[in-house]
Amino acid sequence: MPDSGCDMVGNTDYFAVSPRPGEALGDYPRGQTLVEHYNAHYGRYIDLADQLRTFGLEKEIPLPQVVVIGIQSSGKSSVLESISGVPLPRGTGTVTRTAVELRLHHTAAGRWTAKLWCENDAGEEHKVTLDCPEEVSDAIKTATVFLAGESGVSDRTIIIDICGDNVPDLTLIDLPGLIEMPMEGQAADICDRIEALVLKYISKKEALILVVVAGNSEIATTKALRLAKTADPEGRRTIGVITKVDLVPRGTEQDIVRMVCEPAKYKIQKGFVLVKLRSKEDIDHQVTLQQNAENEARFFLSQTHYRALPESTLGTNSLSNKLTWELVERIKTVLPSLKEETQKRMKDTETELRMMGEGIPKESKEQRKYIAQKFLDFTKKLTRNCDGLYELEDAKDMRLLLQTRPAMEAFAEAVNKLMPAANNEELVERVKEEIRNQRGEELPHFLPYRACQVVVSGLLKEYTVPAMKCLNNYNVIVDNFLRDFRNNTSPTSLVWRTRSSW
C-alpha cells in the first residue's frame, strides 16, 4: 500500500470525529476561502476515510468514495483538474484506461508533494514521488502503460496522494470515459470492459456517483446517466455535473435550467451543478485554473438564464463544496456501523492471535521442538474429542461423537426394523431344523455351536445394507471433521497453515 507522506496518522481514536458544537456543515462563511472552509469543517472526516484505506480496511469493509464517470470528451478530466488543481492526461481516444484514485490532503503549510503508487497483475509495484503538479500527467501515463500496456484497459488502480496548502480534503476516483466503439488498435471488447469497470465501482452502495455530461449533448439519454440509473435506480447517491454550458445551442438554455431546478424528474436526487471549464483554446493560451475560476464566475453572472439559479448550483467551487459535504455526510452515516464492524473484527483477530500462542522460533532445532509439541497438543485434543471430552469453546461441528450420533441412530432404527419377532414361527422351525442337522458329540441339553453360527450368519446378511450405509456416513463425517479440526483447532492450525515454510 502507498504511504501518503502527509503524516496524517496522529490520533489512534480514528472514529472520534463527531461535529463540533454549533457546527453547520452546509454553511459557507463569506470571506473564508474554500480550502479554509474544508479544513475547518470537513478535513478530519476525509482524512479518516483515507487513513482507513491506507490501512487496507477497504478490502474488508467498504468505505464511502466519490466515483467520477462520463462519456469520452464530456469534460470529465477538466472537472477533476479544476477540483484537484493538477493537470491530467489529455488526448484523442481513450486516455484514461485504469481507475485513478486522487487522494487530496490539505496541509497547513509546506510545499506541494505527491506520491503515485500502483501494482500490476504480476504483483510488481510502481512508485514515484512528484515535486510539482505539472509532473502528474506524465506520471499517470507511465503508470497506465505499466498496468494496461499501450492500448488495453486494466481494473487495477493508480493511487495518487497529493498534499498541499492549496488543495481541498477530498478523494475522487476517475474512471475511463465510456465509448460506443473501439478505435483502431484497441481491443474489440474495450467498450464492454470499460463499462464493466464503471459498473464495478458505481454499484457499491457506499459510492457517491458523479456523472459528468456535456451541456451540448443529449443529456437525458447519455450512456453515463443510463449506467448511473442502473446502479442507483432512485438516484439517491448520484450528482450530475453539466459541462460546456457556454456551448449550449441558443434557445436550449431553458432546458438546462429546468434540469437544475427539477433534478428528481431525471432521477438525480443530489441535484445538478453547472460548470464552465477551460477550453482547448484556453489551455493553449495557458489560462490557469485560478484565472478560469474567475472567468467562470463572470460567465454565470453575465448569463440571463443561469444567474437566477442558486449559487450552490453554479461553478467549480460550488461543486467542490457539494462533493465534500455529500462525502462527509456519507462517512458520518456509516461511521457507527463501521466502528462496530471494525471493533468486532479487531476482537476476533486478537482472539485468534492469543489462541495461536507464541510465534514460530527462528532456530531449526527450536522449530523441530515447536512442531513436535504442536502435534502432541493436537493429538491430545483430538483424542479427548473422540472420547467425548469437549472443550467449552468447541462448536457443535467440532464435536465428533455429536456429529456421528444421527448416523448411529439411523442404523439402530434400520436394525430394529429388520429384527425378526420373537414369536416368528418360521424362524423357530428354522432354528429347530438347524439344531437337528448340526447334532454331533455335544452333551445332552447343550446346543450345537455350529447351529447358532449358521442361523446368526443368515440373519446378519440382512443387516449388510444399513451397516454399509452407516459406515459410509461415518467416513464422510470423520473426514470432514478431521479436515475442519485440522484447519480450525488453534494453535495446531498454525502448523498446518505454515508447514510449507519449514
- DSSP notation for 302-327: H-HHHHTS-GGGBSHHHHHHHHHHHH
Q: Which residue has the higher pLDDT, 395 or 495?
A: 395
Kindly state the DSSP code that residue 94 receives in the 8-state scheme.
-
Q: How far apart are CA 125 and CA 157, in angstroms?
A: 12
Ramachandran region of residue 130, left (φ > 0), alpha (ψ -120 to 50) or beta? beta
Q: Which of 294-308, 400-414, 442-456 has the lowest mean pLDDT?
A: 442-456
End-to-end, the C-alpha distance of the chain in Å comes to: 28
**Domain membership flag for residue 19:** no
**Domain membership flag for residue 82:** yes
Same domain, 233 and 376: no
Q: How far apart are CA 376 and CA 382, in angstroms?
A: 10
**Domain membership flag for residue 264:** yes
**Domain membership flag for residue 392:** yes
Highest mean pLDDT, choosing among 106-110, 305-309, 377-381: 305-309
Contact, 222 vs 75, CB < 8 A?
no
Residue range 383-416, pLDDT digits in tens: 877 777 776 666 666 777 888 888 888 888 888 8
Which pLDDT value is given to residue 127?
A: 92
Q: What is the CATH number of the domain that holds 104?
A: 3.40.50.300
**Domain membership flag for residue 23:** no
Decide if pLDDT at 248 tops 90: no
- Of the pLDDT bands very low, low, confident and very high (cuts 50, 70, 90), residue 424 is low
Decide if pLDDT at 491 tops 70: no
| Average pLDDT taken over every residue of the chain | 77
Tell how far CA 4 is from the center of its chain: 21
Decide if pLDDT at 33 tops 60: no
Q: What is the mean pLDDT of residues 316-334?
A: 83
Decide if pLDDT at 380 tops 70: yes
Which pLDDT value is given to residue 396?
A: 64
Q: Which residue has the higher pLDDT, 123 or 338?
A: 123
Decide if pLDDT at 30 tops 50: no
Same domain, 314 and 382: no
Query: By residue range, what is the domain housing residue 370?
Result: 364-501
Same domain, 369 and 342: no
Same domain, 119 and 225: yes
Q: What percent of the chain has pLDDT over 90?
A: 9
Q: Which residue has the higher pLDDT, 455 or 128?
A: 128
Q: What is the mean pLDDT of residues 222-249?
A: 90
Sign of CA dihedral 150, 151, 156, 162: positive
Distances (CA, A) of 53 to 6, 162, 279: 14, 15, 35
Which pLDDT value is given to residue 158?
A: 92
Q: Across the beta sheet with 238-243, what order do the strands follow? A: 125-130, 113-119, 157-164, 99-106, 170-174, 65-70, 207-214, 238-243, 272-274
Sign of CA dihedral 463, 469, 471, 474: negative
Decide if pLDDT at 470 tops 80: yes
Q: What is the mean pLDDT of residues 336-357?
A: 80
Which pLDDT value is given to residue 395?
A: 65
Q: How far apart are CA 93 and CA 165, in angstroms?
A: 34
Please identify which residue in the block is written with the cell numbers 454549533: 22
Which pLDDT value is given to residue 2?
A: 55
Q: How far apart are CA 320 and CA 386, in angstroms?
A: 65
Q: Which of 32-36, 41-45, 194-198 has the lowest mean pLDDT?
A: 32-36
Same domain, 223 and 333: yes
Q: Which of 177-191, 226-240, 284-298, 302-316 has the lowest mean pLDDT?
A: 177-191
Q: What is the mean pLDDT of residues 144-166?
A: 86
Residue range 197-208, pLDDT digits in tens: 899 989 988 888
Phi, psi of 102 (to 5 degrees): -95, 110
Same domain, 244 and 277: yes
Which pLDDT value is given to residue 37?
A: 52
**Domain membership flag for residue 352:** no
Q: Which of 291, 318, 346 is the last residue of a domain?
A: 346
Same domain, 379 and 463: yes
Contact, 28 vs 40, CB < 8 A?
no
Same domain, 48 and 110: yes
Burial class (CB in 10 A: 0-12, 13-18, 19+), 364: exposed
Is the pTM here over 0.75, yes or no?
no
Distances (CA, A) of 405 to 411, 474, 478: 10, 10, 12
Same domain, 316 and 414: no
Phi, psi of 179 (to 5 degrees): -130, 160
Decide if pLDDT at 273 tops 90: yes
Decide if pLDDT at 128 tops 90: yes
Same domain, 188 and 156: yes
Q: Which of 346, 373, 391 is the last residue of a domain?
A: 346
Q: Which of 311, 346, 381 is the last residue of a domain?
A: 346
**Domain membership flag for residue 297:** yes
Q: Where are the alpha helices (DSSP H) in 387-463?
A: 400-418, 425-437, 449-461
Phi, psi of 164 (to 5 degrees): -175, 165
Q: ∠ at Cα 399 (397, 403), nearest 5°?
A: 70
- Of the pLDDT bands very low, low, confident and very high (cuts 50, 70, 90), residue 500 is very low
Same domain, 241 and 339: yes
Decide if pLDDT at 15 tops 50: no
Which cell numbers hold the place of 245? 454550458
Same domain, 223 and 113: yes
Structural domains counted in the chain: 2
Decide if pLDDT at 41 tops 60: no
**Domain membership flag for residue 328:** yes
Q: ∠ at Cα 477 (475, 483), nearest 5°?
A: 100
